[in-house]
Amino acid sequence: MQISSRFTIAIHVLTCIDTFQDEYKVTSDFLAGSVSVNPVVIRRLLQQLKAAGIVKVTRGSGGAEIAKPLSEITMFDVYKAVDSVGHGDLFHFHENPNKECPVGRNIHNVLDDKLNQIQNAMENTMKSITIQEIVEETKCYIQNES
């Protein structure tokens, strides 16, 4: 089980947009430089964030901006936009446990509900953390470097 790097890259991108919006034109090339990925990766990610109503993107070299207050965007919103896993699908269960084995016959009965509980707990925690919190903490680290 692993959530792809799109999730953390998206949070990085949102933090950069907010941090640098008054100093630079925040383009996919600019963001790619901060993340250290190909600008195509950033453009695809920005399209997903745009579709979710999280960012606005001006075509060409117009740049990106946050579409709504950061306090209204949660980590869960970003997760859903770029890396959503369906309910109960976070954990990949092996396909064909041996039905002849007493453990294989019953392992789904034992684990399915517990794995759903774990996914729900993770998602609820994500819903409680806003991008505003991430940006503010990042800015504190930046200030402490000075």
Q: 114: which 2 tokens?
A: 């517990």
Residue 66's beta-bridge partner residues? 55
d(CA 126, CA 87): 14
Q: Which of 107, 102, 78 is nearest to 15 (CA)?
A: 78
Q: Helix or strand or coil: residue 93?
A: coil
pLDDT tens across the length of the chain (146 residues): 567 789 999 999 999 999 999 999 999 999 999 999 999 999 999 999 999 999 999 887 789 999 999 999 999 999 999 976 766 677 877 878 999 999 999 999 999 899 989 999 999 999 999 999 999 999 999 999 97
Backbone angles phi, psi at 43, to 5 degrees: -60, -40
The pLDDT of residue 95: 79
Q: What is the CATH number of the domain that holds 83?
A: 1.10.10.10
The pLDDT of residue 62: 81
Q: Which structural domain range is residue 126 located in?
A: 5-145
The pLDDT of residue 25: 93
The pLDDT of residue 86: 66
Q: How far apart are the first and last CA of the chain?
A: 38
Angle between helices 75-83 and 131-145 (to 10 degrees): 100
Residue ranges with strand state E in 1-146: 55-58, 63-66
d(CA 76, CA 123): 6
The pLDDT of residue 146: 78
d(CA 70, CA 51): 17
Number of structural domains found in the chain? 1
Strands 63-66 and 55-58 turn out to be antiparallel
d(CA 125, CA 10): 18
